Structure 1
Amino acid sequence: MGAPMARICITDAIPEAAVTTLRAAGHEVAVWDGDLPPGRSELLDLVAGADAVLTVLSDGVDEEFLDAAGPQLRIVANVAAGYNNIDLAACRARGVVVTNTPGVLFDATADIAFGLLLMVTRRLGEGERLIRAGRPWRYRTTFMLGHSIEGKTIGLIGAGQIGTAMARRCKAFGMTIAYADEHPMREPAAGELAATGMPLDELVAGCDVISLHCPLTEETRHILNAERIAAMRPGSYVINTARGACIDEEALAAALASGHLGGAGLDVYENEPQVHPALLGLENVVLLPHLGSATIETRTAMGDLAVENVLAVLAGRPAPSAV
């Protein structure tokens, strides 16, 4: 026999196939359908009485959230690889299973990270803004020169699935790969990519590009702080597709404005969706609205995995990707 009907809440739009699968299993499914994500009070009202909730990174799952849902809540399925929005201890104390969606979004996110690298080193964002603004231009041999990445060294802070996928892309473009010993790359990938591990401070000071791919924890919050940014090689670049709070944005903006850093490519922000005002007026920074895993194929796979987790837990089985 299957699991009895449960109330499942989905806090934001996800691919329809995932919703269809849940309903086909005989469950009651409530999906937030507002034009904007739910506010806090709307979120708490939505999850009241839920047996399972599919959440996104902007949903704070804390004691208040768990109280609003009620004691029957069995699983919080985060439709993301990260889960820094969830109070794991509070969920554990209540017997609520927490799951995420690893292993299905690393290529899509690495594509964005590598795209940001090309955009900022070759000044593609600047070039498009010039064209769209209708400013006069003509081809000249000294016009809007950027930098080649071939022969340069990229330093990865976080060399898991996403960091390793980024490294593969960089290696194909002739870059040398290094990573922080504190967040190492596994074999055999490290050997295949001829990647070198080094202490974090040495990595930051010695590489042409620093690319962040680590989870956000208390240890990695502002891991790229003002002191480390000041120690970076003059003219070097920062790429961040991890979490915004891994970087001290104020220190980053100051280093970009002063010319100490050559540029930055950011897909995530410390107080997302707000962007530090000092970044907005800088030409040497590329800003994207958290598009890391935003392909139809990837978001569909993420939704499918979240649904697998929910159906497993509701049926009394282990979740495929429990945190």
Structure 2
Amino acid sequence: MVHLITSNTAIKFLRFNTSRLKAFSTAMMEKPEVLMTRCDIAPNVLEELKSRCKLTLWNKESAASRTFLLENIPGKSGIFCFLTDKIDKELLDTAGPNLKVVSTFSVGYDHIDVKECQQRNIKIGYTPDVLTEATAELTLGLLLCTSRRLIEAHEEARTGGWTTWSPSWMTGPGLGESTVGIVGFGRIGQSVALKVKAFNAKNILYFNRSEKQNEAKITGAVKVSFEELLKQSDFIICCCALTKETQNMFNIESFAKMKRTAVFINTSRGGLVDQNALVDALENGTIRAAGLDVTVPEPLPLDHRLFKMSNCTILPHIGSATIEARTAMAKLTLDNLMNALEDKPMPAQLKL
């Protein structure tokens, strides 16, 4: 038996389902509104972000202005940010209730008010692991540049200071048979220890909030107190996060406990160091030398006293600056952002 549908019934049926189809298509086409505070990342990641979001972009290869952030954050569902952006209470208040995620292109998160995000149920994504090797490589390179005076030597060769070979000229301490102290024994600290071991360091000490017994076995690193590490180490390498507890942990008292021959290296955060105390320590011979990839502020003013010291090597915060690491950081920041917006598990969510 064939059932005939009247023309009016058919028309109503088609109208109803067309309407539902349009509604479904509209819902599928809606994209989350996202604020991004830089444009100089891997092009393929940026293009994917543009295709998946309604993107408001700071279209310059520099840090976004505070005005841009405050003017463009209202109503956004997510923010793709960098360590140069201050994600504080004022910005979160301005964002409003739609903000679901702050995804930062960094392993550090001291530029984010974590407590405020927690109170508002805003997820935070970050980029651990992917920059470990790049930062550890740079740390060792900076240590060698500082201790073996490579930049000083280059300048002497370039400007005519190199006139003849001399047995005592441009000498500095080597890593072989030395004691190396690592403050912060997380992923980066452990990788630094492994690389230092390859240079035949005699002892590797570490200071960390928790015992890392299994991880330390690989290099034979020994956990000691902060004070003991300062007293015993020939090289002191800072690999810890910046928190309220670690702010200015390297101060007048800390430098005074170090050997006068000690070389201090910081590739973590500038806020870990009281820079005035460091200047005094270098000028007065309290320690031999320092190598810094991070400072306060960044960039450091050109007339800063540290730039005038031959025993201080300063780099422009390039710890993770390998092509591979920065590309992986961009992809992980994107994945954290989109997964949070789509209510999926984030690959690297900061546990609040």
TM-score range, shorter chain: over 0.9
Match of 2:286 among 260, 275, 285: 260
Alignment-derived partner of residue 154 in structure 1: 180
**SS of corresponding position for 2:102:** strand
Indicate yes or no: 2:289 matched with 1:280. Answer: no
How far is the alpha carbon of 1:134 from its aligned partner?
4.1
Counting only pairs closer than 5 Å after superposition, residues 216-227 of structure 1 correspond to structure 2 as: 216-227=242-253
Alignment-derived partner of residue 6 in structure 1: 32
Q: Give unmatched runs, 5+ long, in structure 1.
A: none
Give the distance between the partners of 2:133 and 2:348, measured in 1 at CA: 18
Give the distance between the partners of 1:35 and 1:315, measured in 2 at CA: 29
Which residue identity does 1:73 align to in structure 2? L
Per-residue CA shift, 1:41-63, capped at 9, x if unaligned? Answer: 12222333321111111111011
Alignment-derived partner of residue 4 in structure 2: none
Indicate yes or no: 2:76 matched with 1:50. Answer: yes
How far is the alpha carbon of 1:305 from its aligned partner?
0.5
Give the distance between the partners of 1:197 and 1:170, measured in 2 at CA: 16
**SS of corresponding position for 1:64:** helix
Distance 1:3 1:125, change over 3 A: farther
Give the distance between the partners of 1:247 and 1:137, measured in 2 at CA: 38
Which residue identity does 2:310 align to in structure 1? E
Alignment-derived partner of residue 109 in structure 2: 83
Larger Cα Rg: Structure 1 or Structure 2?
2
Give the distance between the partners of 2:60 and 2:159, measured in 1 at CA: 34
Alignment-derived partner of residue 136 in structure 2: 110
**SS of corresponding position for 2:124:** strand
Alignment-derived partner of residue 298 in structure 1: 325
Identical counterparts, % of pairs? 34
How far is the alpha carbon of 1:124 from its aligned partner?
0.4
Give the distance between the partners of 1:173 and 1:311, measured in 2 at CA: 42
Distance 1:183 1:266, change over 3 A: farther
Give the distance between the partners of 1:16 and 1:298, measured in 2 at CA: 14
Which residue identity does 1:36 align to in structure 2? S
User: TM-score, normalising length from structure 2?
Assistant: 0.87
Tell me if the contact between 2:184 and 2:208 (Cα under 8 Å) persists in the aligned partners.
no
Which residue identity does 2:167 align to in structure 1? T
Distance 1:20 1:281, change over 3 A: same
**How many pairs are equivalent?**
321
Tell me if the contact between 2:185 and 2:208 (Cα under 8 Å) persists in the aligned partners.
no
Q: Give unmatched runs, 5+ long, in structure 2.
A: 1-26
User: TM-score, normalising length from structure 1?
Assistant: 0.94
Match of 1:17 among 23, 44, 67: 44
Per-residue CA shift, 1:144-197, capped at 9, x if unaligned? Answer: 11221111011111010000111011000011211014354x343201111111
Distance 1:84 1:213, change over 3 A: same
Deviates more, 1:116-125 or 1:143-152: 143-152
